[in-house]
Amino acid sequence: MFPSNHFKFSNHLAPNPKYQRGISLAMLLFIIVILGLLAATLVSLNSLSTQANAHQVISTRAFLAAKSGADYMAMRVFPQSGASSCGNTTLNFTTNGLNGCSASITCTAIPVGSNNYYQILSNGVCNAGQTFQASRTIEMRLKPIR
């Protein structure tokens, strides 16, 4: 009824297992290399993110040191009681948050008519034991209220 050679499977169409032995090793090696590159990239990104965060913290601390120095001099120029003073000074902070920071403050009195106007320049510097440091400068101008 059916010819026997018509439905016979040919050996050249079926995959031979002896020719496929190394493909698993090659795929495994490829996957290990790709995962290794991915892991190295993630470690590098994490390191850069940590370093950027440290830069931001030190920069914010330098800004706050400069702001504290400017506010300190503003309180000396217009005190609640007593004589005012305007000059140059340096503050070295030892409190938590600003430990290791300093502020160099310059105050200049500018006479305009019968009034004195004041220009305060405060430079805050922080390094706090880090390998890098940050510096921020604030300029403040004050006039008396009459």
| Listed residue (136, 137, 125, 129) closest to 54, CA to CA | 129
6 in any annotated domain: no
Angle at 90 between CA 87 and CA 95, to 5 degrees: 135
Q: Is residue 36 domain-resident?
A: yes
| 76 touches 141 (CB < 8 A) | no
In this model, does residue 10 exceed pLDDT 70? no
Specify if 75 maps to a domain: yes
Mean pLDDT of 131-137: 88
Q: Which residues contact 122 (CB under 8 A, 6 or more apart)?
A: 66, 67, 69, 70, 73, 103, 104, 105, 106, 137, 138, 139, 140
Model pLDDT for residues 46-77, shown as the tens digit of each residue: 888 878 888 888 999 999 999 999 999 999 99
pLDDT band per the 50, 70, 90 thresholds, residue 115: confident
What is the spatial distance between Cα 63 and Cα 71, in angstroms, rounded to a whole number?
12
Asked, for residue 2, whether it belongs to a domain, the answer is: no
Q: How many domains does the chain have?
A: 1
Per the CB < 8 A criterion, the answer to whether 121 and 106 are in contact is: yes
| Residue range of the domain that includes 80 | 17-142
Residue 4 in any domain: the answer is no
128, part of any domain: yes
The pLDDT assigned to 131 comes to 75
pLDDT of residue 32: 93
Cα–Cα distance measured from residue 92 to residue 103, given in angstroms and rounded to the nearest whole number: 7
Q: Give the model's pLDDT for residue 72.
A: 94
Q: What is the percent of the chain where pLDDT is above 90?
A: 42
Query: So what's the pLDDT on residue 47?
Result: 82
- This prediction has a pTM of 0.69
